Structure 1
Amino acid sequence: MSAILSADDLNDFISPGVACIKPVETLPKQGDDVNPYEVTTEDKVQTQNPAPASISLTDCLACSGCVTSAEAVLVSLQSHTEVMNTLDSYPPLDVRYLLNKQNGLANGHTSPPPNAKLFVASVSPQVRASLAATYGISERRAGFMIEQFLSGSQGLRIGGLHNNRFIYVVDTNQAREACLVLGAEEVEDSVAKRSKPKPILTSACPGWICYAEKTHPHVLPHLSALKSPQALSGTLLKTALSKTLNIHPSQIWHLAIMPCFDKKLEASREELTDRWWRPSDSTNKSSLPVRDVDCVITSRELLSLASARGIQLSGLPLRPLSSSERTPFPDPRISHFLFPRHRRWQTEEQNAIAGSSGGYLYHLLLTEQARHQGSTISVQRGRNADVVEYSLVAPSGQSLMKCARYYGFRNIQNLVRKLKPARQSKLPGAARRMTPATGSGSASDYAYVEVMACPGGCTNGGGQIKIDDVVEILPQTRSEDVVNSANGPQSQKDWLRLVDEAYYSADSSEDTETREEDGDDVPMTNGNGHLNGYETSEQTVISGINVNEVHDFLYYWSNLVNIPVSKLAYTTFREVDSDVGKNKPASKKSDTERIASIAGLSGGGW
């Protein structure tokens, strides 16, 4: 689904769903010079190519007949062009002025205009790995390249009407750590209290969520209620900055750089807006909802953004921003979480076991293993490389927990078939007999399943840089090296292997050493990342993550913004039902009214 979509594909033919309300015109349009009395042959008619089908926003949002219709719309609404237009449309909001104002100082800073915006960004590790493989650098240096482009003196700020830049650039790995800790606890709680049916299914992949909501609502009770790292990063930035700077969330514009196009869908969900987390007494129901993530672009669109600004990414410094280029984050505790001084390293082998999609399953297994001394993790490959089963085995040989990983829609279809509820037999005299659905019976043995739409995981997202793009991006010598290392009929698979290596590999000792004058030793450094002193005395470290520190942070964040963690870190999912072609009561809105109301919501939804 997401692997074939890009902004450049919008002029291609889009095959409508079975119940599409806009039929495709197949007859050629008659010209003015056509003689109605002329007899023509069939071959002459066929030589006239009909215009490509045009499916608009109002056509697609009217139904759920096409799985990809909403994607095509949102690709056009969220693109590198939208980033440039927004940067050129609003003056920058001076954070230092707001901080000084709170302290009763001016220090030469002037009051920003009322339409000023604070620009912030979040970057996923898969994007950094894609750029690292492209330019032949480490994943960490790719992070420096991105922040120099978004925030540095040689990046986006050199052009545009207002010379805007992104004030804070954060790594989604920080929010991911919170998601991993909360996700493991969610599974433990559901097993102990049976609050959810087994297995719990990952909810971090929007392509998989869209598929489940539209076509397999029976799996919705199995979904984890956690937000994804992208969504949690957006909520954290919008709530913390609006609270500490005393500004409205609409004054903060958040860009997320992600590996797949489906993340644009996620950013448009109505549940991921300020209406979900703002206190009811402070929310104006008549105002439009403010998204936690305003725009999503992919790795390839990041290259398009640089090209549109005339910037060569390979020419940017591969080091952190200097202290003079950084703006202090308004809250030191939030800053310490978002911009840690030291990265949490794992070995390449550990990263490979965790997978390329965040390591949800691996963290859960390690958490349970820590509670059962002497237990071991058994790994067994399934029918293909994207299906893997895991078992936590006690020293006695007893199986303590079974989990699985399902990547790619072909495998996901097998999974959802196994999860179908039993259906009533239609045989005569067997009204009460229940027969299991086809293929069911084994999926309920799993406590947890990590589900991702892309084969190979998130490093293979549809928005990642492809092998064909490298030839156009890089100088001839470098592109030849890359193409030669990934050539032949399986060139894209070989290229994905290079991206995975960049994602899994720990940086060299030379690369991890950062001189004091170069800035703090962090992947994204334009925050006040040197602040320490918040470590707890008791530490439980799982796969490099200090669980106690994560809980301390969530408690502090919740108290700071006066919003419970249940509103900050969790979300909901819903069944999407198409009523196209169905008889609707007269009391319901007409299709035209319903389309207009949906199209007018900035919060959107699928």
Structure 2
Amino acid sequence: MSAILSADDLNDFISPGVACIKPIETLPEKADGPNPYEVTTEDKAAASKPPPASISLTDCLACSGCVTSAEAVLVSLQSHNEVLNTLDAHPPLQLPWAPYAYKNVATNSTHGGLDEGMEGFDDETLRGKLFVASVSPQVRASVASTYNVSEGEAGNMISHLLSGPTGLRSGGVYRNGFTWIIDANTLRSAALVAAAEEVDSALANPSAAAAGAEGSMDTKPKKPILTSACPGWICYAEKTHPHVLPHLSRLKSPQALTGTLVKSVLAQRYGIPPSSVWHLALMPCFDKKLEASRSELTSSSWISSTSSPAESEGGVRDTDCVITARELLHLASARNIDFGSLPRTPLPSSSRIPFPDPLLDAFLFPRRKRPGNGDPDGGSSGGYLWHILQTHRAAHPGSSIKIERGRNADVVDYLLLSSTGAVILRMARYYGFRNIQNLVRRLKPAKGSRMGGARAVGGARRANGTAGKEEEYSYVEVMACPGGCTNGGGQIKVQEVAEIRGLEVISTEEGSMGQPVKLGPKEQREWLRRVDEAYFSAESESDGDEELEPDGGDVDAMDVDQRDGRGEVVNGIDTGYVREMMQHWAQLTGADLQTLLFTSYRKVESDVGKKVGDVERVAGLASSIGGGW
């Protein structure tokens, strides 16, 4: 991870654990002297200097020795340097449907899809990589506020950096760039529609939620259903509060859905191995790096067991690397690119390489209008609660929504009221770890008393024995960062803006010695207000790319665009169209739609502090080096 991380920057920091360790096992070196049968004592073996230990994101996910945020773990992968190293290590994967076909592979002049797959590729070609990026709207908002441009213009600047001739393609070993840059809002629309269906199904049949199944993918979540799109919150729940796992939504985040869709379609339909597709996600927080490292979010969860050996590579991550808005600027600086001078206009449509399936191409890259960022009442974290609430409101004619502020600005209650004023649904928004702790404490099951006849007591009950309001919620949108995703740990901070713009001071206030002082909470709040303003302005602004002419012969894709609005539109999303695209995705890959859209969670246990006998220690050592009994 980049060196820009420090504990001072964290806004979701709780406290470090006392046992955040990664034990290492050492074996005696092979004897090279004249007596190879000399007995080596344990003391001598321990005296040899072991190699330095390295901590990866996978180690962090597998350890429950700390409750600090994932940003506090310094790792070497998933940084802007890793992006550059990967771009320079692999030649570009030439696509047969692209204008610059490799060798004798025929091009598809109409860009209408490739039915024959990758039969024209040889082994040398498949050593290259196809680079794909997805960009979250929070990152665009952070960049927009920093450079005083619109959210759409910020997105264009990012596209020019990642794919344009004046960006990453201007240098490097292979002059690589990203073939496709996908707006994360596109797959967020699919996530919102699936989330509403998941909640409807769970509320309609609450008995189907298995209490003992915890976070299994094949069970429905229990009421109240808790959002699972924030990996910092998920990591915290899995390690410290496993009693909330049955309440977690099983839905993948837009980041995971993007990687799953692109890699599964290219692998299962067009024969491109998942390892040949490299997906970079630009996200607002460092915890998204943890999400990308989850073993559940790999090709092994969706790939067909009957696929060919080239397609059946297990364990390839759906998202290979995650960088944040701050790291994005470091990426440009490392290639000596002035990010602020990049064009604000869209890349020319003539240079765009279409996705091989025309229906998904029209879905991933809409011709008319980019997806918006929702209503300010829905918050800056994707609007899961707001979309679900609007879906239920559409199903109850005459109903209305009432919004009530909770104990602070990051706790908000949402009531769906009937025409008579009766409460149909109660939902809530809990942002920030301080509020999350109060929520999970209330959801903790009551502990039975050991004394006969005594009533159960515990976190799930109030002092008077009545159920807490948290138990009445049908759905709760939970995010680790105060203020939501626009305030993610990887967003550009107010203290950095002046330096990025080339100004000499970072504050108008001066200390007693005449030196500029660090900007305080007041300035940071004002900065977050500006970022939020840029985030929500995307709903009404035009990025200058809404009326693109279709690429030559791409009639099918244009026909798909003409069908917008034919289904039920909820919260600005054509739900019928989204469902049709998801079904089409499942048909292309031959995978079950639930496998593609949903995932699972598990309780993380640690043996730190536990007494381990010699037999268990030796058995663990044997398994770690490939041995066994």
TM-score in same-fold range (> 0.5)? yes
In the alignment, what sits opposite 2:34?
none
In the alignment, what sits opposite 1:390?
414
In the alignment, what sits opposite 1:163?
175
* Distance in 1 (alpha carbons) for counterparts of 2:577 and 2:501: 42
Within the candidate set 572, 578, 581, 1:553 is matched to 581
Q: Which runs of 5+ in 2 are unaligned?
A: 24-51, 110-119, 209-220, 511-515
Distance 1:579 1:69, change over 3 A: farther
| 1:434 paired to 2:466 | no
Distance 1:542 1:588, change over 3 A: farther
In the alignment, what sits opposite 1:443?
470
Give, as a single letter, the amino acid of the residue that structure 2 aligns with 1:292.
Answer: D
In the alignment, what sits opposite 2:324?
298
Give, in angstroms, the shift of residue 94 of structure 1. 0.9
Q: Where does 1:500-539 land on structure 2 (aligned, <5 Å)?
A: 500-506=532-538, 511-514=542-545, 519=548, 531-534=557-560, 535=563, 538-539=566-567
* Distance in 2 (alpha carbons) for counterparts of 1:71 and 1:450: 22
Distance 1:430 1:11, change over 3 A: closer
* Distance in 2 (alpha carbons) for counterparts of 1:457 and 1:237: 27
Kindly indicate whether the alpha-carbon contact (under 8 Å) linking 1:155 and 1:311 is maintained by their aligned counterparts in 2: yes
| 1:497 paired to 2:495 | no
1:369-415: CA deviation from partner (whole Å, max 9, x where unpaired): 00111100011000000000011000111111000000000000000
| 1:8 paired to 2:4 | yes
Give, in angstroms, the shift of residue 10 of structure 1. 7.0
* Number of corresponding residues: 549
Within the candidate set 193, 199, 217, 1:181 is matched to 193
Kindly indicate whether the alpha-carbon contact (under 8 Å) linking 2:224 and 2:476 is maintained by their aligned counterparts in 1: yes
1:94-153: CA deviation from partner (whole Å, max 9, x where unpaired): 124678689962699996634101000000000000000000011011111111110001
* Distance in 2 (alpha carbons) for counterparts of 1:311 and 1:168: 20
Greater fraction of residues in helix? 1
Give, in angstroms, the shift of residue 197 of structure 1. 2.1
Kindly indicate whether the alpha-carbon contact (under 8 Å) linking 1:75 and 1:261 is maintained by their aligned counterparts in 2: no
1:195-242: CA deviation from partner (whole Å, max 9, x where unpaired): 332100000000000000000000000000100000001101111222
Kindly indicate whether the alpha-carbon contact (under 8 Å) linking 2:402 and 2:417 is maintained by their aligned counterparts in 1: yes
In the alignment, what sits opposite 2:215?
none
Kindly indicate whether the alpha-carbon contact (under 8 Å) linking 1:360 and 1:450 is maintained by their aligned counterparts in 2: yes
* Distance in 1 (alpha carbons) for counterparts of 2:421 and 2:188: 33
Aligned partner of residue 373 in structure 1, secondary structure:
coil
Kindly indicate whether the alpha-carbon contact (under 8 Å) linking 1:179 and 1:226 is maintained by their aligned counterparts in 2: yes
Q: Where does 1:370-519 land on structure 2 (aligned, <5 Å)?
A: 370-426=394-450, 428-430=451-453, 433-437=455-459, 439=462, 441-476=468-503, 489-506=521-538, 511-514=542-545, 519=548
* Distance in 2 (alpha carbons) for counterparts of 1:391 and 1:218: 26
* Distance in 1 (alpha carbons) for counterparts of 2:592 and 2:303: 10
Distance 1:542 1:288, change over 3 A: closer
* Distance in 1 (alpha carbons) for counterparts of 2:295 and 2:595: 14
Give, as a single letter, the amino acid of the residue that structure 2 aligns with 1:360.
Answer: Y
Kindly indicate whether the alpha-carbon contact (under 8 Å) linking 2:564 and 2:577 is maintained by their aligned counterparts in 1: yes
| 1:77 paired to 2:102 | no
Single out whichever of 585-594 and 323-332 deviates more from structure 2: 585-594
Give, in angstroms, the shift of residue 63 of structure 1. 3.4
Within the candidate set 575, 590, 593, 1:562 is matched to 590
Aligned partner of residue 128 in structure 1, secondary structure:
helix
Give, as a single letter, the amino acid of the residue that structure 2 aligns with 1:258.
Answer: M
Give, as a single letter, the amino acid of the residue that structure 1 aligns with 2:386.
Answer: Y
Kindly indicate whether the alpha-carbon contact (under 8 Å) linking 1:117 and 1:252 is maintained by their aligned counterparts in 2: yes
Distance 1:491 1:552, change over 3 A: same
Aligned partner of residue 132 in structure 2, secondary structure:
strand
Give, in angstroms, the shift of residue 265 of structure 1. 0.2
* Distance in 2 (alpha carbons) for counterparts of 1:103 and 1:556: 31
Q: Where does 1:120-269 land on structure 2 (aligned, <5 Å)?
A: 120-194=132-206, 195=208, 196-269=221-294
Kindly indicate whether the alpha-carbon contact (under 8 Å) linking 1:361 and 1:449 is maintained by their aligned counterparts in 2: yes
Single out whichever of 488-497 and 533-542 deviates more from structure 2: 533-542
In the alignment, what sits opposite 1:45?
none
Give, as a single letter, the amino acid of the residue that structure 1 aligns with 2:230.
Answer: C
Give, as a single letter, the amino acid of the residue that structure 1 aligns with 2:283.
Answer: M
Aligned partner of residue 76 in structure 1, secondary structure:
coil
* Distance in 1 (alpha carbons) for counterparts of 2:5 and 2:544: 43
Aligned partner of residue 120 in structure 1, secondary structure:
strand
In the alignment, what sits opposite 1:360?
384
Distance 1:520 1:588, change over 3 A: farther
Distance 1:193 1:11, change over 3 A: closer
Aligned partner of residue 237 in structure 2, secondary structure:
helix
Kindly indicate whether the alpha-carbon contact (under 8 Å) linking 2:412 and 2:430 is maintained by their aligned counterparts in 1: yes
Distance 1:208 1:447, change over 3 A: same
* Distance in 1 (alpha carbons) for counterparts of 2:526 and 2:322: 27
Kindly indicate whether the alpha-carbon contact (under 8 Å) linking 1:179 and 1:228 is maintained by their aligned counterparts in 2: yes
In the alignment, what sits opposite 1:603?
none
Give, in angstroms, the shift of residue 90 of structure 1. 0.3
Give, as a single letter, the amino acid of the residue that structure 2 aligns with 1:317.
Answer: P
Kindly indicate whether the alpha-carbon contact (under 8 Å) linking 2:140 and 2:154 is maintained by their aligned counterparts in 1: yes
In the alignment, what sits opposite 1:318?
344
Distance 1:160 1:593, change over 3 A: farther
Single out whichever of 472-481 and 407-416 deviates more from structure 2: 472-481
Q: Where does 1:14-25 land on structure 2 (aligned, <5 Å)?
A: 17-21=17-21
Kindly indicate whether the alpha-carbon contact (under 8 Å) linking 2:300 and 2:314 is maintained by their aligned counterparts in 1: no
Aligned partner of residue 306 in structure 2, secondary structure:
helix
TM-score (norm 1): 0.83
* Distance in 2 (alpha carbons) for counterparts of 1:229 and 1:60: 22
* Distance in 2 (alpha carbons) for counterparts of 1:470 and 1:596: 49
In the alignment, what sits opposite 1:105?
106
Single out whichever of 249-258 and 315-324 deviates more from structure 2: 315-324
Kindly indicate whether the alpha-carbon contact (under 8 Å) linking 1:80 and 1:302 is maintained by their aligned counterparts in 2: yes
Single out whichever of 472-481 and 451-460 deviates more from structure 2: 472-481
Q: Percent identity?
A: 53
1:521-548: CA deviation from partner (whole Å, max 9, x where unpaired): 9xxx9xx899222327841000110000
| 1:309 paired to 2:335 | yes
Single out whichever of 574-583 and 263-272 deviates more from structure 2: 574-583
Kindly indicate whether the alpha-carbon contact (under 8 Å) linking 2:142 and 2:491 is maintained by their aligned counterparts in 1: yes
Distance 1:98 1:22, change over 3 A: closer
In the alignment, what sits opposite 1:351?
375
Distance 1:248 1:503, change over 3 A: same
* Distance in 1 (alpha carbons) for counterparts of 2:429 and 2:294: 26
Single out whichever of 200-209 and 94-103 deviates more from structure 2: 94-103
Give, as a single letter, the amino acid of the residue that structure 2 aligns with 1:149.
Answer: L
In the alignment, what sits opposite 2:86?
86
Aligned partner of residue 173 in structure 2, secondary structure:
coil
Single out whichever of 414-423 and 72-81 deviates more from structure 2: 72-81
Within the candidate set 541, 548, 562, 2:569 is matched to 541
Distance 1:390 1:507, change over 3 A: closer
1:494-542: CA deviation from partner (whole Å, max 9, x where unpaired): 1111100000124776x444486xx569xxx9xx899222327841000
Aligned partner of residue 131 in structure 2, secondary structure:
strand
Aligned partner of residue 435 in structure 2, secondary structure:
helix
Q: Which runs of 5+ in 1 are unaligned?
A: 24-53, 598-606
In the alignment, what sits opposite 1:28?
none
* Distance in 2 (alpha carbons) for counterparts of 1:529 and 1:386: 47
Kindly indicate whether the alpha-carbon contact (under 8 Å) linking 2:346 and 2:543 is maintained by their aligned counterparts in 1: no
Question: RMSD over aligned Cα, in angstroms?
Answer: 3.5
